[in-house]
Structure 1
């Protein structure tokens, strides 16, 4: 999601410096004609320096006249140009909102928590949120204070209101057209349902610029960042594209595009960061891996690619994978697979829409939560804080494993895959049991069953994590020792990123 400041990445022991708008967050899409069971696959991660935790938001009915707060605060930062503080405003809420499951996080500069990059809702719409830097001129012309919804607001609104991927695009476009858009420098979304996917880019500049491209059943796409290339000049009349009315006319006014040149309108070339390619080398690498597995890629293989160490590293707040199938027999059986931190060393756990609660170990904790270093735990939060925090446990496993990835990563990967395979194998029986309960009018009992299953697997995951950490920690101490680090601060934005690659 939001890109962090410049940093240096540790590739095992070598360091690689990354430019000011860092390469953070990714989304993967595989169309239904290319998968083993005719499902659409979507997955990826959100990259933020923050505490991440699982949240289940119920289906709700809101009073007439209800409103929601959107936008940025005065602390908002802009990357690639001068800061553009924001102003919080209110917009109308709809009367009814859908249930959804998402990973939530606690801090991004000037973006009020709780924040989300999307997730999965009860209608079978899944969303990822991915960085997509706008050209410098757009960043510089962004008005201050910024007003209107920002990326997390839009992701949350889509989860609450969209019943298809196409409708998700329409909702975001309508929000920007009507209320404007607040940003840290440009952003994108990847939406999917059981039929198709969409990539939508919203640009900095306070001009209401946005564009979306459909991803069809025979397509593979990696957003890293979110990108769109050539689009037809009559894009608003083409069912595979959508965009703001001024998308091309504004570029012509600025001298960024000549409609008489004979050249196609290339979205990245016109509006994207001018000092970066549309497709990074990692995009080509990962898309190639996906394409070699298609047609017929399984969900197991897709999860393997989501956890690839080329993308999954310390910046990941979580890993996420979804299989969307039109034949799902009950909406509450739709499933979001979530790793509690970077999936390179953390297991995916299935959370079905019917699940009603989250174990305390997977809820919000103080680790990496803004302000926690200068405050004491409240009595209300003490017991939740006393519990093991899944995110921290699997971060520890990442740090030990990635210290010597050649030695430790193969055994960690083998254990995680074996653990996930047991849940994939369980899937049919679990869903058939729950479906029988639903069909017999035992909805609450079905939800209790699904909740118990996910809780049990979550605790199994913690036990597995503790065993792996204990084993690798013991060998690390014996073989390599743990050096003393007293530098202040121990963490910073210009840093050597931990990665297992």
Structure 2
């Protein structure tokens, strides 16, 4: 397959550093009737798991939102009012995106069973160029976090985003989107660049699959305010007409992507030419798996055509009816799931092991500052993200040989967690029903932490085994250049696709993917 460096450069220019994937699978397409949400976070920086407890706030409480003057599109931070009570939620946090103050989040799941994913969604150049300097308003991570803190339904999450943009504005790097889901439905929200407070949202039903990379919305009704499946800012249609981007007297239907998305030959909503699999290909591959299980979605998220060194973590969430908030479960891979296991967590887990918490690896300013003594014990522990990055780098040095072995071990580990699910959750539910919620939370915490510890031990064993294999087989490759960091000019990141034909079906064994890319 030809993939010229010039195309790489074009894609790098169009796509921001923070990208990320999101998968939505409606409940009529899943094996157990749950809504499934999955995704990755694609940032260079460090990632760690964090649980945020429910919290009451004083009447004058505020939160700081927005971007700084260091952002690619400069802005100023601002304080907005906090609500009296915020919900418990779990998310993967990360440490840096230029001009966007840490900690940041792509989303997670809250105690009301609301899952949020943040995904880039680039706007047309003319709209980006309209953005005022400095810009003000909530940015993508602020919106994801506020929805987790405040929303009780997916639709309410959309309404919260719309209200906050209308009141305070939206600060961005060129356009962004969010996938918000609950046990019944999902919503795609596309927030627009340009400082015009533009946004649009589309409902996803129980029989739909949607993959965002980038986020997209296509045909959009002109009378959307009277339509239960759509929402948007009051000016989403009128502004396009004013700018001459859409002609109401023409034959073309109003299409959000065609009007506000990236313009240019080869870019469509579902086949944008990004990475090795388009949204359409991923949606079709996911739909073909129906009825879809959690394990099926894990395989979609870890598909090595999309999961590489850029994938900072992987997530899969089941959203079901009549589930105790503490038993809402989420599977999280500590870094790119192509070579790291999905660990099982519940929202009722009380603490995250230090090995899965924040460390200095890939953390902003780590190379120019000494460690804060408050973190010395945590930093002394092994870091799961770093360990499984080592597994990735060794595996991807000889993927045709090593990837099937590594992924076989990951599947074996995850199968043990899947086999335990029934008795763990049934035991916890019985304890809750008998007024012993504290004991139920202790059980969930003990099991999740035990499995996380086993996963890390597996990772360390894999690193040692891969290290021995690669070196003893004479396959270790020392660097030939002097730049340890990717210059960011279209060079490929470390990935297990090298040497394979990405046009072949994803379920074909890696050993049969023989054609070399050029």
TM-score by length of 1: 0.94
Report if aligned partners of 1:61, 1:95 keep a CA contact under 8 Å in 2.
Answer: yes
Please give the per-residue CA displacement for 1:195-229, whole angstroms capped at 9, x wherever unaligned: 00111100100000000001100001111100011
Matched, 1:263 2:259: no
Deviation, 1:379, is 2.1
Q: How far apart, CA to CA, are the structure 1 residues paired with 2:426 and 2:480?
A: 53
Deviation, 1:277, is 2.2
Tell me which residue corresponds to 2:279.
Answer: 283
Q: For residues 189 and 403 of structure 1, do their structure 2 counterparts lie closer, same or farther at Cα, with a shift above 3 Å needed?
A: same
Q: How far apart, CA to CA, are the structure 1 residues paired with 2:486 and 2:125?
A: 29
Deviation, 1:489, is 4.4
Please give the per-residue CA displacement for 1:258-287, whole angstroms capped at 9, x wherever unaligned: 111132100001000113321235212211
Deviation, 1:10, is 12
Tell me which residue corresponds to 1:88.
Answer: 77
**Where does 1:2-81 land on structure 2 (aligned, <5 Å)?**
17=9, 18-22=11-15, 24-77=19-72
Match of 1:162 among 124, 132, 151: 151
Deviation, 1:57, is 0.3
Report if aligned partners of 2:15, 2:122 keep a CA contact under 8 Å in 1.
Answer: no
Tell me which residue corresponds to 2:100.
Answer: 111
Match of 1:336 among 330, 334, 344: 330
Tell me which residue corresponds to 1:303.
Answer: 298
Report if aligned partners of 1:198, 1:212 keep a CA contact under 8 Å in 2.
Answer: yes
Q: How far apart, CA to CA, are the structure 2 residues paired with 1:394 and 1:489?
A: 19
Report if aligned partners of 1:10, 1:497 keep a CA contact under 8 Å in 2.
Answer: no
Match of 1:213 among 198, 202, 213: 202
Deviation, 1:25, is 1.3
Q: Specify every segment of 5 or more residues in structure 1 that has no aligned partner in the other structure, as ranges.
A: 1-8, 78-83
Tell me which residue corresponds to 1:81.
Answer: none
TM-score by length of 2: 0.91
Deviation, 1:380, is 1.6
Deviation, 1:482, is 2.8
Q: How far apart, CA to CA, are the structure 1 residues paired with 2:241 and 2:26?
A: 34
Q: How far apart, CA to CA, are the structure 1 residues paired with 2:481 and 2:457?
A: 31
Please give the per-residue CA displacement for 1:118-158, whole angstroms capped at 9, x wherever unaligned: 10001000011001001101110000111110000000000
Q: For residues 359 and 419 of structure 1, do their structure 2 counterparts lie closer, same or farther at Cα, with a shift above 3 Å needed?
A: same
Report if aligned partners of 1:10, 1:498 keep a CA contact under 8 Å in 2.
Answer: no
Report if aligned partners of 1:10, 1:496 keep a CA contact under 8 Å in 2.
Answer: no
Please give the per-residue CA displacement for 1:447-495, whole angstroms capped at 9, x wherever unaligned: 1221111110100000111111111111111221231355134344333
Q: Specify every segment of 5 or more residues in structure 2 that has no aligned partner in the other structure, as ranges.
A: 272-276, 498-518
Match of 2:307 among 303, 312, 329: 312
Report if aligned partners of 1:10, 1:499 keep a CA contact under 8 Å in 2.
Answer: no
Please give the per-residue CA displacement for 1:383-412, whole angstroms capped at 9, x wherever unaligned: 111100000000010111111111111111
